[in-house]
C-alpha cells in the first residue's frame, strides 16, 4: 500500500518537502493543503513587482497547477486544515473530514506581528504575503498618492524602496534610530538612508506608531511625532511563526515560538516533520535557536523534512544565516552577527572594517563596498559579517557564511586568494582588507 504523506503549506518549505518526498518514494500519495490559490511561487519577489522592476506577478510562479497534477501531487487549494491529531495520525479538513497520514510535514510559515495599537483592523492596511492579494493591491497602489510603511523590518525596507520607485509619496515610520535595527548595523544602513532621501522617501526614525485613524478605511497614521494623512499603509512588521495548529496539536515549541525539531527536521510527535518559518534551528556559533530565516533556508529544510517523511532521513545543519536584500539603490547583507546583535547578546568580538570597490578602479561602473567582519577574540574565528555595496554582496555573504561554518579565521581571510579581473574584481578584495584591519586591531 502506498505511503500517504500529508503536507500542510504550499510555499517554499511545503513544496520543497512534497518534491523531495516524491523523489525518495515515487509511489507515495502526496497530499498538499494550502490556504492560498497558488503554490510554488516566490513571495519574496512581490516588492519588486510593486516597484516595477519585474513586469508581472506571473513571473513569480515557478510552475503552474497543471505541472503538479501531471507529477501526481494532490494539491487542495484554498483549503484550511482545522487540526492535527498526532495520536490518530490524521488532520481534520472541514470539507473532507479526517485525512489519514503515514507522515506529516508542517510548513505553515509565518504571520506578521500585529502592532497593539488602535485601528489595526481597518481597511487600507496591506500585509504583503500572498500573490493574489498582491495583484489586487498592485491595482490599488495605482490610485495611492501617499503611503506609510509601518516599521522598517526587511519587508518594510523593500516596500519603502518599491513605493518610492513607483512615485508614491512614502513615509517610513520606525521606533528605532535606523532601519532594520535588530539585524543590521547603523553604518551599513547609512548609505541606504541616503539613497532613500534621494528617492524622496520621508524617514521618521525614533518615531512610534500610535494609531491608524479612519472609520472603515485608514485615512491617517498617528505617530509620536504627529499625524500623517495617507491613502494606504504597508505593514512592515516582524515575521513570527504561524504555529497555532502545531501548538494545538501539542507539538513542542521553543523560546522563539518556533516548532522544536532535530537535525532530520522531526518535530516532537512520531512521524511529524516541520520546516521553514514555522520552526527554529540552532545557530552554528552559539547553538542558540533562531527562527524566521530566508526562503532558501525554508526550501532546504523542506527538502530534508520531505525526504524523511518518505522514509529516507537526511541531515540539516546548524545555520550561519547569510542574508541580503536591496534597500534604496544599495545591496545590504550579512552573516550571523553584526555589532548590534553581538553587542546585545554580550558576545565579545574583534572588529575589522574596510571599504573597497567591486571592480578595478579604472573600469566603468565599479561600485563601493563596505565590509565589516566580527571575529572571536583569541581564536579570531569569524563569527559574523555585515556588508553594503553596489554589487557582489550576495556572493560575499555566501562565502563568509561558509567561512564561519568551517571555522576560518581573520588570518585565513586576510591573505586569501582572490580573482583579479578588471571587469569582475579589484586587486584588493574588500573582505581581505577588512580581515587585515581586524588583525591589526587584535594585536
**Active-site residue numbers?**
44
| Nearest residue (CB) to another protein, 208 versus 367 | 208
Going by C-alpha positions, the residue among 323, 322, 332, 325 that lies closest to residue 190 is 332
Binds another protein by CB under 8 A, chosen from 44, 54, 122, 190:
190
Beta bridge partners of 202: 171
Q: Report how far apart, in Å, the C-alpha atoms of 168 and of each of 141, 179, 262 are.
A: 8, 19, 46
Point out which span in 34-42, 156-164, 278-286, 362-370 binds another protein (CB under 8 A).
278-286
Point out which span in 62-70, 255-263, 322-330, 422-430 binds another protein (CB under 8 A).
255-263
Beta carbon of residue 207, minimum distance to another protein (angstroms, whole number):
7
| Nearest residue (CB) to another protein, 162 versus 385 | 385
State yes or no: residue 252 binds another protein (CB under 8 A).
Answer: yes
Q: Report how far apart, in Å, the C-alpha atoms of 360 and of each of 313, 417, 425 are.
A: 47, 16, 6
Binds another protein by CB under 8 A, chosen from 46, 278, 281, 293:
281
Complete edge-to-edge strand list for the sheet that includes strand 83-85: 83-85, 90-93, 97-100
Quote the CA–CA distance of 285 and 297 in Å, as a whole number: 17
Quote the CA–CA distance of 194 and 22 in Å, as a whole number: 48
State yes or no: residue 194 binds another protein (CB under 8 A).
Answer: no
Instruction: List the x/- string, 346-375, binding to another protein by CB under 8 A.
Output: xxx---------------------------
Binds another protein by CB under 8 A, chosen from 180, 309, 341, 371:
341
Quote the CA–CA distance of 388 and 371 in Å, as a whole number: 7
State yes or no: residue 286 binds another protein (CB under 8 A).
Answer: yes
State yes or no: residue 271 binds another protein (CB under 8 A).
Answer: no
Beta carbon of residue 396, minimum distance to another protein (angstroms, whole number):
22
State yes or no: residue 345 binds another protein (CB under 8 A).
Answer: yes
**Number of residues counted as binding another protein (CB under 8 A):** 49
State yes or no: residue 253 binds another protein (CB under 8 A).
Answer: yes
Q: Segment 313-332, which members bind another protein (CB under 8 A)? A: 315, 317-318
State yes or no: residue 260 binds another protein (CB under 8 A).
Answer: yes
Binds another protein by CB under 8 A, chosen from 86, 170, 207, 237:
207
Binds another protein by CB under 8 A, chosen from 97, 143, 287, 364:
287
Q: Segment 424-443, which members bind another protein (CB under 8 A)? A: none
Binds another protein by CB under 8 A, chosen from 8, 131, 152, 279:
279
State yes or no: residue 126 binds another protein (CB under 8 A).
Answer: no
Binds another protein by CB under 8 A, chosen from 224, 418, 421, 440:
224
Point out which span in 212-220, 253-261, 394-402, 423-431 binds another protein (CB under 8 A).
253-261
Point out which span in 58-66, 102-110, 279-287, 427-435 binds another protein (CB under 8 A).
279-287
| Nearest residue (CB) to another protein, 343 versus 390 | 343
Binding residues vs another protein (CB under 8 A): 175-178, 181-182, 185-187, 190, 205-208, 224, 247, 252-258, 260-263, 266, 279-282, 284, 286-289, 315, 317-318, 339-341, 343-348
Amino acid at each position: 500500500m502506498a505511503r500517504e504523506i500529508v503536507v500542510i503549506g504550499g510555499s517554499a518549505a511545503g513544496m520543497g518537502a512534497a518534491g523531495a518526498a516524491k523523489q525518495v518514494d515515487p509511489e507515495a500519495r502526496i497530499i498538499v493543503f494550502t490556504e492560498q490559490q497558488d503554490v510554488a511561487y516566490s513571495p519574496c519577489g512581490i516588492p519588486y513587482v510593486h516597484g516595477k522592476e519585474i513586469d508581472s506577478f506571473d513571473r513569480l510562479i515557478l510552475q503552474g497547477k497543471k505541472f503538479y497534477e501531471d507529477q501526481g501531487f494532490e494539491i487542495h487549494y484554498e483549503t484550511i486544515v482545522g487540526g492535527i491529531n498526532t495520536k490518530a495520525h490524521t488532520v481534520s479538513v472541514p470539507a473532507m473530514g479526517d485525512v489519514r497520514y503515514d507522515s506529516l510535514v508542517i510548513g505553515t510559515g509565518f504571520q506578521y506581528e500585529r502592532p497593539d495599537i488602535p485601528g489595526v483592523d481597518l481597511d487600507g492596511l496591506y500585509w504583503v504575503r500572498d500573490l493574489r492579494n498582491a495583484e489586487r493591491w498592485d491595482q490599488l497602489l495605482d490610485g495611492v498618492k501617499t503611503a506609510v510603511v509601518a516599521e522598517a523590518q526587511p519587508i518594510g525596507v523593500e516596500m519603502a524602496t518599491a513605493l518610492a520607485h513607483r512615485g508614491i509619496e512614502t513615509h517610513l515610520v520606525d521606533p528605532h534610530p535606523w532601519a532594520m535595527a535588530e539585524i543590521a548595523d547603523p553604518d551599513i544602513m547609512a548609505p541606504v538612508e541616503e539613497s532613500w532621501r534621494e528617492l524622496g522617501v520621508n524617514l521618521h526614525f525614533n518615531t512610534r506608531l500610535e494609531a491608524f485613524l479612519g472609520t472603515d478605511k485608514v485615512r491617517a497614521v498617528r505617530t509620536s511625532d504627529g499625524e500623517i494623512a495617507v491613502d494606504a499603509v504597508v505593514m512592515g512588521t516582524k515575521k513570527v511563526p504561524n504555529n497555532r495548529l502545531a501548538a494545538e496539536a501539542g507539538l513542542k515549541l521553543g523560546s522563539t515560538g518556533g516548532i522544536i525539531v532535530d537535525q532530520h527536521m522531526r518535530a516532537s510527535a512520531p512521524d511529524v516533520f516541520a520546516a521553514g518559518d514555522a520552526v527554529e534551528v540552532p545557530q552554528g556559533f552559539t547553538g542558540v535557536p533562531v527562527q524566521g530565516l530566508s526562503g532558501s533556508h525554508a526550501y532546504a529544510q523542506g527538502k530534508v523534512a520531505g525526504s524523511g517523511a518518505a522514509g529516507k532521513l537526511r541531515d540539516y545543519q546548524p545555520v550561519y544565516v547569510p542574508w541580503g536584500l536591496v534597500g534604496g539603490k544599495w545591496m545590504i547583507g550579512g552573516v550571523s552577527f553584526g555589532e548590534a546583535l553581538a553587542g546585545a547578546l554580550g558576545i565579545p568580538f574583534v572588529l575589522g572594517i574596510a571599504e573597497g570597490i567591486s571592480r578595478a578602479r579604472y573600469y566603468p561602473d565599479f561600485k563601493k563596498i563596505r565590509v565589516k567582519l566580527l571575529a572571536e577574540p583569541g581564536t579570531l574565528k569569524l563569527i559574523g559579517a555585515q556588508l553594503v555595496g553596489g554589487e557582489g554582496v550576495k556572493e560575499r555573504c555566501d562565502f563568509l557564511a561558509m567561512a564561519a561554518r568551517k571555522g576560518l579565521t581573520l588570518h585565513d581571510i586576510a591573505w586569501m586568494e582572490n580573482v583579479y579581473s578588471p571587469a569582475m574584481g579589484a586587486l584588493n578584495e574588500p573582505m581581505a582588507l577588512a580581515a587585515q584591519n581586524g588583525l591589526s586591531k587584535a594585536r
